[in-house]
Structure 1
Amino acid sequence: MALSEKLRELRDKQNWSQETLADMMKMHRSTISRYETGKAIPNYQTVIRFAEIYKGEKEYLVDELNQLLPNVEAPGFVLKEKLEDPDIGMILQLLQDEPDLKKALVELHLMHPKRKIFYYDAITTFIRVNKMQDKM
């Protein structure tokens, strides 16, 4: 059974709506929909969060994820975006110009998933508030 089907089946067994699950996962409902339709593949930390919420065997979901993701022998990160993407160029420049930000992002990446979600939410909230203030 595909990961997307497993995620849908687990949610249906709990009789939860996508909105309910999205609130529990602290993500948008459309993200849940994309995972359940196979239009997007959740990362490892997200799959672990699903397993924790469903109180199920992590291997049940992780094994399927391992089959979906490419088998990368070398350690490190895989950049899926093209380097020609202007956003990626800006991000790389920012990381080069701000070494403390780079260190903070590495620390954020290594945090426990629940703590990481808290900081992601805090950062996006600060940015959203800043944009609203700029419009005033």
Structure 2
Amino acid sequence: MILADKIIEERKKNGWSQEELADKLGVSRQAVSKWESAGSIPDLQRIIQLSELFEVSTDYLLREEITPEYTVPYIDTEVGTSKPIRRVSMEEANDFLDIKRKAAPLVANAVTMCITAPAPMIILAGLAESRKFKITETMSVAIGITFLLLMVAAAVFIFITCGGRASKMEYLEKESFETAYGVTGMVKERKSSYEAVFTRGIAIGVVLCILAVVPLIGIGIMFEEEEYIMVFFVALLLVLVGIGVNLIIRVSTVMDSYNALLQEGDFTESEKRVKEKLKVLPGAYWCIATAIYLGVSFWTGRWDISWIIWPVAGVLFPAVLGAAKLIVKDKG
């Protein structure tokens, strides 16, 4: 048994995560990950520290012919149950990255469909209100809601389909795992080569979302009394925001797949525990937002302005999620 395997074995016996062992040694989690994947070897001082922490001899750690008499299953300290930790092979890692890469444009397009779905209804409602066109309010609402529901239904179909394809690999985003030799190096190399694309996509997407309101402001100044013209640019705002969000999701999905395999960013072990506790929050939040939108729209009949609920809900969601994470972390 090589040193890398012995470090893994002894860490599991003590029920420590890579992050916890790194804290005890005063090194980074990435350093521990490299030791365990045989990507590097700890120096003599660290080997002595490891022997003291694990209560084993340095001979045991360094000499491959010395093996333990038995092994102990990994203990999940969060739930207190015996749970063997998964080891991700190179093939599994590549499959996961391919699934996420193929899903990225599909999910991004589905989100854009949800964002732009109210656009026809907004345009028709504005035309009906202007009374310059032969469109009644009832007709505009009927056509608009039908289109909105069709778009949302198609988007939900895409979400469910993509989720089903990735379900067999979802443990990589939710559970602790170890990587086989060479996996970490491969992922880091691909992540490094993708960072320029990621930065560019985020930058363009954010700029589009910010500038989306500019045409609406300009037209509002020039055609202040022509409200039916304004609704076209409200719809344009949604389209531009949809494109911006599309770009952000495309690159973020791919980058998240790298971070998930490296257990970095939002995929550290502590973050995974927090996400597990908050897994019902996003669904509940958006159900409430949808209920408020439909309730206000049907109650007031102002479908032309009730769309503002969606961008407000979108801006509030990160704040709500962040506050919930802080509360969960404070409670331990």
- The structure with more radius of gyration: 2
TM-score by length of 2: 0.19
TM-score by length of 1: 0.45
